[in-house]
Amino acid sequence: MPHYFDSAHRVEIETLRQRLTARTEWPTWLLLFGVYAGWFAIVLGSGGLGLWWSTLLLIPLLVLWLSVQHELLHGHPTRWAALNKILGYAPFAVWYPYTLYRDSHLLHHRDEDLTLPGRDPESRYLSAAQWQGSSLFERGLHWLNKTVLGRFLLGAPLALLALAWDEVQRLKTGERQAWSMWLSHGTVTLLMLLFIGRYSVLPIWHYLLLVSVPALSIAMIRSYYEHRPHAEPEQRTVINEAAWPWRWLFLNLNLHLVHHDLPGLAWYDLPRAYHARREQWLARSGGFLMQGYGQLWRRHGVKAIDSPRHPFH
């Protein structure tokens, strides 16, 4: 447990971890079952639902699945990483292999490296050298990606292009882990797409482009302003007091500083931990507070929130 918690705060957190809910993890098990059951129900029932109702139901389900995968890689609902990997390996959202997401995201949790290009794998900032080496067109894309609208429209395509570039380089060098990961992920993804093509009214191209990509675009809104450059690592991570639909889709990851400080705390305990010590969390964040995603849209729908160039890397 972090050293900066006082003794009373440590007792509060330990009490949360010892509750029956935390020991059994039944909310996460229920969520897992619900997503799997929901996906198969929508796909198999798409003939009755129709193409577009099926699409509108699948998109938020895939956003939720990405959040569930995040819980799994942080050690929920079991203590066994291999079992959690099996539970979360279904490629419903298509593009990111579970293993790649897990390994990259756990590196992101080195808080002293947050936002630093080349050190934080989830950084959205460019180093001085990257900025100087980019074209005017590339700089324009990066500036657009710093608006909420730009992140929603461009965030997923840009992330997928970067993913393809990086992974092709790994495959070209013959990296065994990369080949193994993509062969296994590609196999189960192909089987899933064949299942969709055989048992649903959704064309495969439709699922790829009009279900999975929009789901990734919505998930990009969560990460739009989760972190900022700051000299103090603990003041780089946001607290976003979002409304319930977003809290549900993102499994309370809007309370992002709480998650970074307590990465082993389950999604359903994050609000309780936050509200018990709200003023302390806000002080620790340096006042890095957002009053929901609507506030971000009103202020930065078409206005960049900050520079794509990291200010002190």
Return the closest-CA partner of residue 152 out of 144, 163, 162: 144
18-69 tens-digit pLDDT: 776 777 899 999 999 999 999 999 999 999 999 999 999 999 999 999 999 9
Whether residue 193 has pLDDT greater than 80: yes
- At 20 the pLDDT is 67
Lowest average pLDDT, out of 9-23, 191-205, 296-310, goes to 9-23
145-171 tens-digit pLDDT: 999 999 999 999 999 999 999 999 999
- At 71 the pLDDT is 96
Six token digits for residue 309: 């160039």
Whether residue 15 has pLDDT greater than 80: no
Whether residue 238 has pLDDT greater than 90: yes
- At 3 the pLDDT is 66
Q: Percent of the chain scored above 70 by pLDDT?
A: 99
**What average pLDDT does this structure show over 137-146?**
96
Residue 13 pLDDT class (50, 70, 90 cuts): confident
Alpha-carbon distance of 146 to 285, in angstroms, equals: 21
